[in-house]
Structures are given as structure tokens and as C-alpha cells.
Amino acid sequence: MNKYLILSIFLGLFCTGLSVELPISIEIPIPIFSILYCIVAYAVYKMNIKHVNKNIEAGLLCVGIIVSYWLGAYLGANQLIFMSNGLVVYQLFRLACERTKRQSRLAMLVCLAQVWVGLLIIANFLPFILIFSISIFLLPKALTETENLYFPVRNLFSVFKFPKVHLLPISLVAVLVFVALPRIKLSRSLNPLQNAVAGQGELQKKADTSNSVDGGGERMVFQIEGKQIGYLRTVTLDKFDGLSAWEESTWIQLPDTKRSIWGPIPKDSLERSVKIISTSLLRNSLPVDGRVEKMDINTGNRFYLADGGGALTPLNFHDNPSYRFWTYNEPIPSPMNKKFRKRYLNIGGFEVSNQLKQFLDTQMPKNLTDQETADFLTNYFIDNFTYELGAPKLDRISAIDDFMFNEKTGHCERYASTLALLLRLKGIPSRVVLGYVPREYNNIAGFYNVRTKNAHAWTEAYIQGKGWVQFDATPYEELMPYEEKSLGFTLIESFRYFWFNRIVEFDSEDRSDLIQFSKGIVTPVVNAFINTLPQIVLVCVIVYLVYMIKKNFKKVKLKKKTPKEQKAESMLKARSFYGKLLRSLAKQGYEKPIAWTPNEFAQFLSQQGYPLITEIKSITKTYCDIYYGSKILSEENESVLQAQLAIIAAKK
């Protein structure tokens, strides 16, 4: 029984099931289809059907391919890849019915294609290595076993032995294929980090001074790589309701028509590389810092720089995008017209209490510039207030007064929103910004893990001659230190980051970067080679002359093969000769049954009156004496076998 072929078919069906992914609204894990395929396959295998009409089989196969192609379009998958599900029909027939030599070989080809599809889809490293290892072990044995059904082989794996030196060209070809064929994304949710840890829900586009806020949790939001990374903004709030809450207006979400992000890479800019892990937490916001001058994203979603300074997409993401952007840390000095200034000074009918008015009039120094006023208020909160998550809620009607003159404690949203209001009361345009502050740095791979607990709120004020300047009034002290993970955790995170960003999502842009990097290394080497070419040629000539002298004027003792090596070589040649005999007879209509021995097959041909029975018996005897006995194939016997095979092959 060809068990390895059957196991390989089951492996291919399991990998094919990974390509089936239902719409997002239907919550069924992907492996369920792999399991269903295997259950159906096992049930069909136990049927043990002897024969099926070829026309029925061909018709069902065509229907399966057409249906899978249509389903691929319906589910939004790669249709050519999804067609591997149609080939499931063919594999089921191979499990249910007896297989000919041609059908077994074709089943192996289909299995290889299905395993390839599975390896393309699997993004998590451990399942990938598991499937890949099983494939490396199983498929060669299945291929050998398929051939062994029609020609006996003692050592199943000997067919695939090759010198270790061949590993180098095989590895080079694999690398070239990897670089030449960038990855295609076949699934909507490739990154397992997305659901690794439960945490907060969607990003809240609102800040309320009166609310109480707890800690953010450990859920991974995104990973970012770059130098001098600052506060990463996602939402800008410019609309104050007159009591305690800030929201984003429609205006602040509109594209900033004065800025373009499609030009060349700005000189001396800072590059950032971002991989979004949890799209539900960001919705349509792309975290950025500083003054963004150029962006490049790897999905088909359109994106733009908004009037509020952040980067947005018109629609929410349904996959895990990666993008790069180039930025400057300094604000951009741009004039503000009266319309915008009025919008950023609007306090929504807020009634200033006598206590707050007295604070602004008496406790603040006179004749301060806008920059000095913002600095004074920021330092006032830092020096006189305390940071506390889960602080009690404030009075919704007079939340600002309750916070400033009674509680004097709270979370970052309270400080950011209160500072923004005070700045507007002093005639300084301001707004509240929500985003993240990266604190968990991976020293090995050089990137930051940004989690929900890193969420933060701060204030921006428009300073004449400088533009929008960032102010953070939250008195953190040591509550936001840089985190250092254990070495083991850091190594694991580094490897996963490299796997997803450099292997799984290797695209045409990464290929271009790799080529440019290679040019920078190869070009100096080539130039050095050209400059020293005469010396290299001279050395090669000398080495060749020394080799020829040694070869012609010194006796080289040839190592004599051991009896074991001679026996192995004779068995290999005898098997090759007998295999050629069986192939020649098969073409003439005489195919050897699997269960027959070589002598039984020769006796059958003799009874059938085969005209060249003398040559067949001679080849069979020589094969049995060598393969099953202790005889060594001599050069004379080898010549006789070749002549006899030529006579049999020439018979029509």
C-alpha cells in the first residue's frame, strides 16, 4: 500500500483548506476548512471504489475548478490560487479508486501545488516550519514510493541522494526566486499578532475632561522603526462643546491642499517604517509624527494628509497595512488666516467662572508672548498637579473648575483638554491631539512595540512664526519610562518582526531597496576586481601550470574501491538496466504487475511466446545475480547488457 502518497494527498488537502476564508462578518477560523477537507477525504478513502467512469471524473473536475474560480472572486481571494480547491475533486478520486502509474504521478504534482499554496498563505513562523518540515520528510518518500510500485527499490530514499556541494546552487536559486517573485497577499489577516492579547476597543475620537480613564492594556497596536521618533498622532480634536468634551470637526478631516506627499524623498528627512497590527484600534488613522513630507503605503487604500496634521484613509482598513513616511521634527512656519484662527479660538459658549478668570488675570505674569504663555501653563500643571489613572469623575457642568481648583489629579486627556481651553481663553489657537508615545524599544531589531497602554493625549498651540507647536502638560515624572523586556522576549519579538516585515511581506519596493543595497556592495568589488585583473590572471596561470606539472610528472595513486562500494555501484547499474527493460516492454504492451518477481515476469513472457525471450532471461538473470546475490557487474557484462537492451528497444 502506497501510504506515503496517501499521506501526501491528505497534507495537500489540509494546505488547500487554508486558502478558504469567509467574509469578515462570519467568524469561522480558517483551519476548519482544512479539517473538513481531511474528514471528507478519509470518508472517501474508506469507500474503496474500484472504478469510476473517466467522463464522470473529468466532468466533476471541471465543475470543481469553475466553482472554485467563481468562489475566489466572490470571497475576494486570488482566483488562480483559489482554484487549487477545485483540484480537491481530483485528489478525492485518487483516494477512492485504484491508481495507475500516470494518475499517481499527477496526484503528486497536484499535491506539490497545494502544499505550495499553503506555504504561501501561512504567515506565522511556527506553523510554516511545521508544514514545511512535514513536506520535506513526506514528499520525497511519496515520490520514491510512487516509482517503487512499478520498479522494486530496496532503499526508498536513495533516489534522492546528491552531493552536498549541490546545496550551494540550490540555495542560490531559492534566493533568486525569492527576490524575483515578491510576495502576494492571499489572506486578509496574515499577522497573528493582531489577536495576540485582548485590550481596548476602537480608537475613541473624543476627549472629555470629566471622564475617568483606566490603563490601556497590553494589546499590540503597531510597530515602528526609525530614529528620533516623537509623539505619534492619530486624531486631532478642534471642536469644544462648551462644557468639558473635545471632538474632531468635519473640517479637520479634510485633505490639506497646501501639502503634497507624492514628491521625491526630502533631503535630511527622518524615515519611519510602520506595520499596523490591530486595524480596529486605528480605524482609518495612520500614526505619524512631526511634519510629514512623503508617504508610501503597500495597499490599494488611498491616503492623504489631513488639515489636522495627521494621515487618514477614506475607508477603514480590513487588512494589516505597512507604510513608510519621511518627516521633520520641526514644526512648519505657515500663516493662519482669520477663518482658521476663529475656528481654533472657538470655546463653544463656555462660561468662564470668577475663580478661573481670577487665575488667568492675577496668577499669570503679564506681557507674555504666546510661546511663554503656553510654557507657563504647561509647567504650572506639571509642578502643581499629579497624574492618576482611574481618577474620580468630575462635575460635568463645571469640570474645568473642578479639575483645576479641587481635584488637581487625573489622566492625560484632562491635562491636554484643559490646557487647550486655557490657551484659547488667552487668545492662542489650540487643539487636542490623541495618539501614542512609543516606550517599548527592541534593542536587537531596532523597532518599537506600541501597545494600547502607550496611548496619550497632548496639546498643540499655534505660535506665530513657528506654526503648530507641541505642549505636554501631563505630569508623568516616572510613570512613562522606557521599557526593557527580557532577552528571550526581545529575541522572539525581533524574529517575528523580521519574519513578517522582511519575509512574509517582501514586496517589489523591498526588492528595489535590496538591489540598491547590493549595488553599493557589488560595485566596489567589481571595480577592485577589474583593477587587479592582470595579477589575478597571472596567479591563475601559475596555479594551472603547477597542477599540470604535478599531474604529468608525479604518480598519483588511485584509491581502490572497497567491495561494499563496488557492490553498491553494481546494484545501481543493474537496477538501471532492468528499469530500461521494463520501460521498453511497457511500450510494447507488456507491463509487469506489481506483485510479480522478475523471474515470474520472464516466465510469463516465455509463455506468451515473446520472440526475444533469450535476451530477457539473460538480463533478468544478471539483474537477480547482482541485486539479490553477491555478483559484481563487470565491464564485459555491462557491454552485453547494453547490446541486449538495444535489441529489445528496437523491436516494434
Cα 84 vs. chain centroid, distance in angstroms?
A: 21
Quote the CA–CA distance of 372 and 466 in Å, as a whole number.
13
Pairing of strands 322-328, 291-297: antiparallel
Quote the CA–CA distance of 120 and 128 in Å, as a whole number.
9
* Residue 270: band (very low, low, confident or very high) from pLDDT cuts 50, 70, 90: very high
Under 8 Å CB-to-CB from 312, ≥6 apart: which residues? Answer: 253, 284, 285, 286, 303, 304, 306
pLDDT surpassing 70 at residue 558: no
Q: Which of 151-160, 255-264, 505-514, 605-614 has the lowest mean pLDDT?
A: 151-160
pLDDT surpassing 60 at residue 497: yes
* Residue 114: band (very low, low, confident or very high) from pLDDT cuts 50, 70, 90: confident
Q: Which of 261-270, 276-285, 451-460, 476-485 has the lowest mean pLDDT?
A: 476-485
* Angle 311-346-283 from CA coordinates, rounded to 5°: 25
Buried b / exposed e over 12-21, threshold 16 CB at 10 Å, is bbbbbbbbbb
Q: Which of 66-80, 323-337, 411-425, 484-498 has the lowest mean pLDDT?
A: 484-498
In the chain, what percentage of residues exceed pLDDT 90? 15
**pLDDT at residue 482, as a whole number:** 59
Cβ–Cβ < 8 Å for 286, 274: yes
Residue 512 C-alpha cell reads as 528595489
Quick one: which H or E segment has residue 225?
A: strand 220-226
Top pLDDT among 350 and 560 is at 350
* Residue 168: band (very low, low, confident or very high) from pLDDT cuts 50, 70, 90: low
**pLDDT at residue 385, as a whole number:** 92
| 210-236 average pLDDT score | 81
Closest C-alpha to 96, from 152, 159, 53: 53
Quote the CA–CA distance of 265 and 632 in Å, as a whole number.
72
**pLDDT at residue 262, as a whole number:** 77
| 486-492 average pLDDT score | 60
Q: Which of 201-205, 234-238, 436-440 has the lowest mean pLDDT?
A: 201-205
| 148-158 average pLDDT score | 46
Q: pLDDT tens-digit profile of 180-202?
A: 655 554 444 433 333 333 333 44
**pLDDT at residue 182, as a whole number:** 53
Q: For the beta carbon of residue 177, count every other beta carbon within 10 angstroms.
A: 9
Top pLDDT among 511 and 547 is at 547
Quote the CA–CA distance of 251 and 460 in Å, as a whole number.
17
Quick one: which H or E segment has residue 55?
A: helix 54-75
Top pLDDT among 1 and 336 is at 336
Number of alpha carbons in the 13 Å side-chain half-sphere of residue 32:
7
Cα 610 vs. chain centroid, distance in angstroms?
A: 61
Under 8 Å CB-to-CB from 104, ≥6 apart: which residues? Answer: 2, 5, 94, 146, 149
Q: Distances in Å between the alpha carbon of 514 and those of 502, 549, 575?
A: 11, 45, 48
Residue 506 C-alpha cell reads as 517582501
- Average pLDDT of the chain to the nearest whole number: 78
What are the percentages of helix, strand and coil residues in the chain, rounded to 5? 50, 15, 35
| 52-63 average pLDDT score | 77
Top pLDDT among 414 and 486 is at 414
- What is the pTM assigned to this prediction? 0.55
**pLDDT at residue 116, as a whole number:** 79
Q: pLDDT tens-digit profile of 32-47?
A: 778 888 888 888 888 7
* Residue 209: band (very low, low, confident or very high) from pLDDT cuts 50, 70, 90: low
Burial of 302 from C-beta contacts in 10 A (0-12 / 13-18 / 19+): exposed
| 434-448 average pLDDT score | 85
Question: Position 369: which residue type?
Answer: T
Alpha helices, DSSP H, located in 207-278: none
Quote the CA–CA distance of 626 and 602 in Å, as a whole number.
17
